[in-house]
Structure 1
Amino acid sequence: MTRVGGRRQHKLFASWYPGRAEAMDRAGFADYRRRLLAGLSGRVLELGAGSGLNFAHYPAEVERVVAVEPEPALRERAVRAAEAADAPIEVVDGVAEDLSVHAGQFDAAVCSLVLCSVPDQRTALEQLATVLRPGGEIRLLEHVGASGGMLAGVQRVLDATVWPWIGAGCHCSRDVTSAVALAGLKLTAIETFRFPAGGPTLPTAPHVLLTAAPAPHLAR
């Protein structure tokens, strides 16, 4: 749920979210972070690094990570996490709407729990595509809207009322896979799952783990 678009400072969100994210990792979400990053190599751009919980999971084959995080308090946490990581990681300021300074520099781009809060998913994904070298890929780990039923209705109500305020712009009913297609990306792998798998169904329970690549006519 890291905010990477629009207004950059979210003191309330930055005060509670890192603890929540760490609790999710202890409950098993760290395994999905590892799977998100498994097999990556070369140079990687991470959009919406938050407090840096992905950093410990980058494989040894990754030569360098540039981690973009606009929220100042979260960025400070990410800098400390980068210092403790095995991979060489540079934490920088930036927003999803403009990644032009990084154009054509990376073998992969990743984001996790980010597209829920950007002002426009399509724009963010199009910007991610611009940072890739030929043959590069985008990997996403996101909570998404339910496919139907009562949960979908609950998500829509929350998005129209309190949820964006609680989560610094987070929406729980977004359709990431449709945004991938609208951005001109080709979906190459997708897995859907619920987290947590047991217990009460949370508004953010449906998730996707997916890989996409620019369509040939968009490749740099």
Structure 2
Amino acid sequence: MDNLENLRIKDKYNKMARSYDSVIDRLVPGAWRRKTASFAYGSVLEVGIGTGSNLSYYSTECQEILGVDLSCEMLRRAIEKKSLCKVPVHLKMMDVQKMSLESGIFDSVLASFVFCNVPDPEQALLECCRVLKPGGRLILLEHMSSDKMILKRLMNWLDPLTMKLLGDHINRNTLSLVVATGFNTHVVENLFGDIVRLIVAER
């Protein structure tokens, strides 16, 4: 794992935290978040919880939520949203690529628009797999590379620019990574063309 890259990401989100909800988060429809959170149950780990934008969408099928993020400023704003959640919420600063959590303790692991930022997405997915119970559920709301060749080539061409300006990879094939990590996919739903997808998989 690239510590310099982690520091860059942490610094980016610390700076963005104040305006994140009013600028960036408005681009994500609440219906997407509601549908994503509806698959969570039991003991839930949300990685890259950010400012806590998903908290109000979790149902009472969940027992408790542990939200982790690399940015202390994003977590500071997530604290303000804990009361919007129907179940207890705990927050910790942590790197999804190397989590200080016991193995096999969560029923669900959820992430929204996280794996486009993580320096080593395969390692992050392995960590998600590690902390899930056998049969546990991985739930991802992610933007990723299109399967359409022309659009795929365009995204590959634009990726260095989006990385420089936004710090996001737009050409990752997150679905293939999920399968390669050993998860069994049960739901793959296209929400915006085939660029934004909801993925539900089982350990």
Question: Is the 2:103–2:130 contact (alpha carbons within 8 Å) kept by the matching residues of 1?
Answer: yes
Aligned pair count reads: 196
5+ long unaligned stretches in structure 1: 196-204, 215-220
Question: Is the 2:69–2:96 contact (alpha carbons within 8 Å) kept by the matching residues of 1?
Answer: no
Counterpart of 2:182 in structure 1 is 184
Counterpart of 1:14 in structure 2 is 17
Counterpart of 1:163 in structure 2 is 162
How far did 1:38 drift?
Answer: 1.0
Deviations 1:23-56 (A, max 9, x none): 224xxx2111111111432110000001111000
Distance 1:148 1:41 in 2: 34
Deviations 1:45-82 (A, max 9, x none): 00000111100000012111000111121111111111
Question: What amino acid does structure 1 have at the position aligned with 2:163?
Answer: P
Q: Which has the higher contact order (CA 8 A, sep 6+)?
A: 1
Distance 2:78 2:157 in 1: 33
Distance 1:139 1:39 in 2: 7
Residues 151 and 12 from structure 1, CA distance in 2 versus in 1: closer, same or farther, beyond 3 angstroms? farther
Residues 152 and 16 from structure 1, CA distance in 2 versus in 1: closer, same or farther, beyond 3 angstroms? farther
Counterpart of 1:207 in structure 2 is 196
5+ long unaligned stretches in structure 2: none
Question: Is the 1:140–1:209 contact (alpha carbons within 8 Å) kept by the matching residues of 2?
Answer: yes
Distance 1:131 1:94 in 2: 14
> Which residue among 188, 191, 194 is the counterpart of 1:193?
191
Alignment RMSD: 1.9
Runs of 4+ in structure 1 deviating by more than 6 angstroms, as ranges, are none
Deviations 1:115-167 (A, max 9, x none): 0000122111110011112221101110011123443233222212x312332
Distance 2:150 2:18 in 1: 31
- Which SS does the other structure have where 1:98 is aligned? coil
Distance 1:100 1:94 in 2: 8
Counterpart of 1:217 in structure 2 is none
How far did 1:18 drift?
Answer: 2.7
How far did 1:100 drift?
Answer: 4.0
Residues 33 and 106 from structure 1, CA distance in 2 versus in 1: closer, same or farther, beyond 3 angstroms? same
**Greater CA drift, 104-113 or 144-153:** 144-153
Question: Is the 1:100–1:127 contact (alpha carbons within 8 Å) kept by the matching residues of 2?
Answer: no
Distance 1:164 1:15 in 2: 21
How far did 1:15 drift?
Answer: 4.4
What TM-score results when the alignment is normalised by the length of structure 1? 0.82
Question: Is the 1:48–1:114 contact (alpha carbons within 8 Å) kept by the matching residues of 2?
Answer: yes
Distance 2:72 2:100 in 1: 21
Residues 188 and 39 from structure 1, CA distance in 2 versus in 1: closer, same or farther, beyond 3 angstroms? closer
Question: What amino acid does structure 2 have at the position aligned with 1:18?
Answer: D
